[in-house]
């Protein structure tokens, strides 16, 4: 594959100077709007990630970066939805042209096409617990009692599994797969299976819980249950919510910012945010959570702006082998912009 940095600039040059003019016979207004889109995108990367235009390559046209750019235009620049969709269309058009010309970059176009048009929705607020808040929560149950030990493990596993409440309550003994790595089988929407690995102290807590609450287990037994008429029945979501809120009220006494209206989905958000902050790619988090669309997972990338740059820089980019090209254009960004057709 060509050097991706120089390849990007050549593609831009050909796209703006040749393709749009000679092959598409695009109007001046169309070309101007496409230039605005690419220019705004490069300025966004420069502002948010300290990436100079001379150092750009195709890897910066990732789905995460493009989606983040559009959210930035909407939430910080307050641009209209129609403008956001125009910017998205322009970037897609450039990437489609580039992919048609060089198959080695077609994956960037394919990924960006999965970004849906905006419909006016605002970025959702993601409520999650910080690591200190999680420690407070897990320390509250009285583990000298049987129910206290159950409650602590239940909250730990809700967090570690990232499961939806219905997925969680439907876990049965047969869904615990032990081997070199202990895994938890979850059944998501449409009964779609996914497997969640468990590690370290979580496995220890699991084994302790099983030895105490499932002395003679059957595969069909629910992992968490309540007892009615001496029978084990699936625990209800209301019961879980009641327990979480009970412990949240106590946690508020230690941390006034702790959400009193704690529910299972907050713990699901919490593990996703923890993964994102540690640099786990959104595509991995998507699979972990069982999302069918990356846009559902992307909320975590914009929920905590302080960690965006650090996470993206650490997980998406290794230094490109572009020293020669960058040196050639060093101090000549204006010339490079003109070469690429990004000036008026």
Closest to 84 in 3D by CA, of 50, 115, 42: 115
Cβ contacts of 43 within 8 Å, gap of 6 or more: none
Q: What is the pLDDT of residue 187?
A: 92
Q: Which helix (H) or strand (E) holds 24?
A: none
Q: What is the pLDDT of residue 316?
A: 34
Tell me how far CA of residue 8 lies from CA of 64, 72, 294, 339, in angstroms: 18, 23, 25, 12
Give burial (CB, 10 Å; 0-12/13-18/19+) of 193: exposed
Q: What is the pLDDT of residue 337?
A: 82
The answer to whether 181 touches 197, Cβ cutoff 8 Å, is: yes
Per-residue pLDDT of the chain (344 residues; tens, 9 = 90+): 344 455 888 899 899 988 888 888 888 888 888 999 999 999 999 888 888 888 888 999 998 889 888 888 888 888 888 888 899 999 999 999 999 998 888 999 999 988 888 875 555 567 899 999 999 999 999 999 999 999 999 999 999 999 999 999 999 999 999 999 999 999 987 788 999 999 999 999 999 999 999 998 899 999 999 988 888 899 999 999 999 999 999 999 999 999 989 999 999 999 999 998 888 888 889 899 998 877 677 777 655 444 433 433 343 333 333 333 444 555 567 878 887 877 76
Structural domains for the chain: 4-120+320-340 (1.10.150), 131-289 (1.10.443.10)
Q: What is the pLDDT of residue 330?
A: 55
Please state, in angstroms and rounded to a whole number, the distance separating the CA atoms of residues 144 and 167. Answer: 29
3-state secondary structure 270-311: HHHHHHHHCCCCHHHHHHHHCCCCHHHHCHHHHHCHHHHHHH
Q: What is the pLDDT of residue 121?
A: 54
Please state, in angstroms and rounded to a whole number, the distance separating the CA atoms of residues 17 and 120. Answer: 34
Could you list the beta-strand ranges (E) of 203-262: 225-228, 231-234
- Please name the residue that has the structure tokens 């990630």: 49
Q: What is the pLDDT of residue 280?
A: 85
Q: What is the pLDDT of residue 124?
A: 58
Closest to 107 in 3D by CA, of 1, 20, 33, 36: 1
Task: Quickly list H helices, 140-213.
Answer: 146-161, 165-169, 200-213
Please state, in angstroms and rounded to a whole number, the distance separating the CA atoms of residues 12 and 342. Answer: 8
Closest to 31 in 3D by CA, of 12, 16, 46: 16
């Amino acid at each position: 594959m060509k050097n991706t940095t120089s390849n990007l600039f050549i593609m831009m040059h050909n796209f703006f100077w040749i393709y749009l003019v000679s092959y598409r016979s695009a109007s001046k207004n169309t070309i101007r709007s496409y230039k605005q889109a690419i220019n705004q995108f490069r300025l966004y990367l420069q502002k948010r990630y300290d990436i100079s235009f001379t150092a750009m390559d195709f890897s910066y046209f990732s789905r995460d970066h493009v989606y983040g750019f559009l959210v930035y235009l909407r939430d910080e620049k307050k641009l209209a939805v129609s403008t956001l969709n125009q910017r998205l269309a322009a970037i897609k058009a450039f990437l489609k042209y580039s992919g048609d010309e060089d198959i080695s970059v077609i994956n960037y176009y394919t990924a960006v096409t999965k970004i849906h048009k905006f419909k006016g929705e605002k970025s959702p607020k993601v409520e999650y617990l910080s690591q200190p808040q999680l420690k407070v929560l897990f320390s509250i149950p009285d583990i000298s009692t049987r129910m206290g030990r159950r409650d602590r493990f239940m909250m730990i596993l809700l967090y570690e599994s990232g499961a939806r409440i219905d997925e969680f309550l439907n876990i049965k003994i047969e869904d615990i797969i032990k081997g070199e790595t202990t895994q938890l089988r979850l059944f998501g929407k449409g009964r779609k299976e996914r497997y969640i690995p468990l590690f370290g102290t979580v496995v220890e807590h699991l084994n302790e819980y099983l030895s105490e609450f499932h002395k003679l287990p059957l595969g069909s037994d629910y992992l968490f249950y309540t007892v009615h008429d001496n029978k084990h029945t699936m625990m209800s979501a209301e019961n879980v919510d009641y327990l979480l809120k009970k412990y949240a009220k106590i946690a508020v006494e230690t941390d006034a910012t702790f959400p009193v209206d704690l529910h299972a989905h907050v713990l699901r958000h919490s593990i996703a945010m923890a993964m994102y902050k540690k640099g786990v790619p959104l595509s991995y988090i998507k699979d972990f959570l069982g999302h069918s669309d990356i846009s559902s997972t992307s909320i975590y990338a914009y929920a905590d702006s302080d960690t965006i740059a650090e996470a993206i820089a650490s997980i998406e980019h290794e230094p490109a082998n572009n020293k020669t090209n960058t040196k050639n254009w060093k101090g000549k960004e204006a010339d490079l912009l003109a070469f690429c057709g990004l000036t008026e």
